[in-house]
């Protein structure tokens, strides 16, 4: 159970110079405000903001965010005003609490409301992404106590967490948060599958843990012998929901899942990452086509690491993930890593929030047609791929996007006039499914009037769909004005 002493100890361990008095003051303020309230579990309400703050502290976030986490429910659930919070804890804390309060009204009730709620979330994130980080921590604790709620409410909160919160955490590069939100939701959305996958994972891990530990010791010894300083070397068990989705793709054959337990090697710098990869390949034979360099080509959410899959002891297939400590913290905490104690005050790269800001600015266009909004929802929450222009610029697209989607992502006119594509120096049709790492050149015809409505059958992004429909609508309007209206006018003339 979360306590103020545990919270302060976590904060002090990470940052001995943190203002513990202010954190304790925020706790006492929250405890007084919530003193007569109970949770559905019967526990004192203060347990919830404490647990939220504890999660934020374990993410190594600064005290301003942790204090906002302690106070995040005060404005909504008690008579305390935002003005009082600002007076006692500063405008920054009050602003974050106000943002969390607004997000608290979001409920998962049908496509129209769902999309409007997404819009509110993106606007809140564009203003201050710390708000969504606090909301993640708040939701994480709520998911651990779902059994005390009515069944329908349990399902709604779990579904909302799985379909809205977890994918946004993924887009923000917060791998650990995404995995926890998914697993806690999975338990209530598909309880039978949850039990089945848990048993499969446990059985396979128990069968392989002895060999894996032996491999870990042997590999670490070779790395040290090669003069590579190992900061950390540990196994990471795959999250259950991620395993469930992978099993579905492989007809539930656990033998085709090579990363149930991944060996995670943390070293000091990028040079050591590549040196460690060489040592591992000298020690264990790599599987063909299973080496992934996410350092040279990071994932769209910023994830960086080297991955390789090898034949280990007794032929056991094992994945290694090699990265620096900074890359590891970015992979675990994503955008939240920019508020770590050791990087306090550092600016967030604009590209990290570009997609959030773009979506927030699209609010008027978004509300025009529900079908397009549904498409936008899919854009946001699908797995992403990164495709390169011939000049080396990276275009971030949803999985299974086509050259037409790529063309519209560059410019509307490129999309409207595209007639073909050259992928990795070979000609392909416009409905070809793209893969991460493809280098794509769009072939255009300047004389082409506009896109084909047939493209709607295969495009993946809402941007492409919207531009194609918009052109079709303009063409129809133009045809109507030049053909139908003059004819009607002629008929009316005596």
pLDDT in tens, 400-440: 899 999 999 889 899 999 999 999 889 999 999 998 778 89
Nearest Cα to Cα of residue 138 among 59, 45, 73: 73
Single pTM value for the model:
0.74
Question: In a 3-state reduction of DSSP, which class is residue 348?
Answer: coil
Nearest CA among 263, 273, 262, 264 for reference residue 324: 273
Per residue, the 3-state secondary structure of 280-314, as one string, reads HHHHCEECCCCCEECCCCCCCCCCCCEEEEEECHH
Query: Exactly one of 76, 92, 332, 400 is catalytic; which is it?
Result: 76
Domain 4-189, architecture per CATH:
Orthogonal Bundle (1.10)
Separation between Cα atoms, residue 210 and residue 253, nearest integer Å? 22
- Helical H segments across 128-190, by residue range: 130-144, 151-160, 166-171, 175-189
316-341 burial: b if 16+ Cβ within 10 Å, else e: bbbbbbbbbebbbbbbbbbbbbbbbe
pLDDT for 353: 56
Quick count: other Cβ atoms within 10 Å of Cβ 47? 18
> What is the CATH architecture assignment of 382-488?
Roll (3.10)
Whether residue 76 lies in the annotated active site: yes
| C-alpha of 19 from chain center | 31
DSSP, collapsed to helix, strand or coil, labels residue 476 as helix
- Give per-residue burial for 457-477: e unless 16+ CB within 10 Å, then b: ebbbbbbbbbbbbebeeeeee
- Is there a common fold for 192-335 and 382-488? no
pLDDT of residue 104: 66
Summarize pLDDT for 105-138 with one digit per residue, the tens: 655 444 445 555 566 666 666 677 888 899 999 9
Structure tokens at 227: 């003069």
Of the candidates 58, 77, 374, 431, the residue annotated as catalytic is 77
Fold that domain 192-335 belongs to in CATH: Beta Polymerase; domain 2 (3.30.460)
Burial letters 90-118, b for 16+ CB under 10 A, else e: eeebbbbbbbbbbbeebebeeeeebbebb
* Per-domain residue ranges of the chain: 4-189, 192-335, 382-488
Which residues lie below 8 Å from residue 370, measured CB to CB, with a gap of 6+? 111, 112, 115
pLDDT of residue 346: 45
- Token look-up 């025009």 returns 368
Please indicate whether residue 77 is annotated as part of the active site. yes
Q: Which residue ranges of the chain lie beneath pLDDT 70?
A: 104-126, 339-382, 475-494
- The predicted pLDDT at position 121 comes to 64
């Amino acid at each position: 159970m979360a306590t103020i002493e545990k919270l302060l100890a976590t904060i002090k361990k990470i940052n001995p110079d943190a203002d513990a008095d202010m954190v304790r003051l925020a706790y006492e303020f929250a405890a007084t405000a919530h003193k007569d309230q109970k949770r559905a579990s019967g526990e004192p309400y203060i347990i919830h903001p404490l647990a939220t703050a504890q999660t934020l502290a374990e993410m190594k976030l600064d005290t301003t965010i942790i204090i906002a986490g302690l106070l995040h429910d005060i404005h909504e659930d008690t008579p305390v005003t935002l003005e009082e919070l600002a007076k006692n804890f500063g405008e920054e804390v009050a602003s974050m609490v106000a943002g969390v309060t607004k997000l608290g009204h979001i409920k998962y009730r049908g496509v129209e409301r769902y999309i409007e709620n997404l819009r509110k979330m993106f606007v809140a994130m564009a203003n201050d992404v710390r708000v969504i980080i606090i909301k993640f921590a708040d939701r994480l604790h709520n998911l651990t106590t779902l059994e005390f709620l009515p069944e329908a409410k349990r399902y709604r909160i779990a579904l909302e967490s799985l379909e809205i919160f977890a994918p946004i955490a993924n887009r923000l590069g917060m791998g650990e948060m995404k995995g926890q939100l998914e697993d806690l939701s999975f338990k209530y959305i598909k309880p039978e599958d949850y039990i089945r996958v848990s048993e499969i994972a446990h059985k396979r891990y128990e069968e392989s843990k002895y060999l894996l530990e032996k491999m870990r010791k042997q590999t670490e010894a070779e790395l040290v012998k090669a003069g590579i300083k190992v900061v950390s070397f540990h196994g990471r068990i795959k999250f259950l929901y991620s395993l469930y989705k992978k099993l579905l793709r492989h007809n539930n054959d656990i033998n085709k899942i090579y990363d149930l337990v991944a060996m995670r090697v943390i070293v000091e710098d990028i040079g050591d990452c590549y040196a460690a990869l060489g040592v591992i390949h000298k020690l264990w034979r790599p599987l063909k086509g299973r080496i992934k360099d996410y350092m040279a080509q990071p994932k769209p959410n910023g994830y960086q690491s080297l991955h390789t899959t090898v034949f280990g002891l007794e032929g056991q297939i094992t994945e290694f993930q090699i990265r620096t400590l900074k890359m590891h913290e970015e992979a675990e905490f994503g955008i939240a890593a920019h508020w770590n104690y050791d990087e306090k005050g550092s600016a967030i790269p604009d590209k990290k929030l570009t997609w959030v800001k773009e979506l927030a600015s699209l609010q008027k266009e978004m509300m025009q047609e529900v079908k397009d909004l549904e498409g936008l929802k899919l854009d946001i929450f699908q797995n992403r791929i990164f495709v390169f222009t011939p000049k080396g610029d990276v275009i971030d697209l949803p999985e299974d996007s086509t050259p037409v989607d790529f063309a519209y992502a560059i410019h509307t006119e490129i999309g409207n006039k595209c007639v073909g594509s050259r992928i990795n120096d070979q000609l392909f049709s416009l409905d070809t499914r793209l893969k991460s790492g493809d280098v794509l050149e769009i072939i255009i015809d300047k004389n082409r009037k506009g896109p084909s409505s047939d493209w709607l059958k295969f495009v993946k992004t809402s941007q492409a769909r919207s531009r194609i429909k918009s052109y079709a609508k303009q063409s129809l309007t133009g045809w109507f004005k030049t053909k139908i209206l003059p004819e009607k006018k002629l008929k009316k003339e005596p």
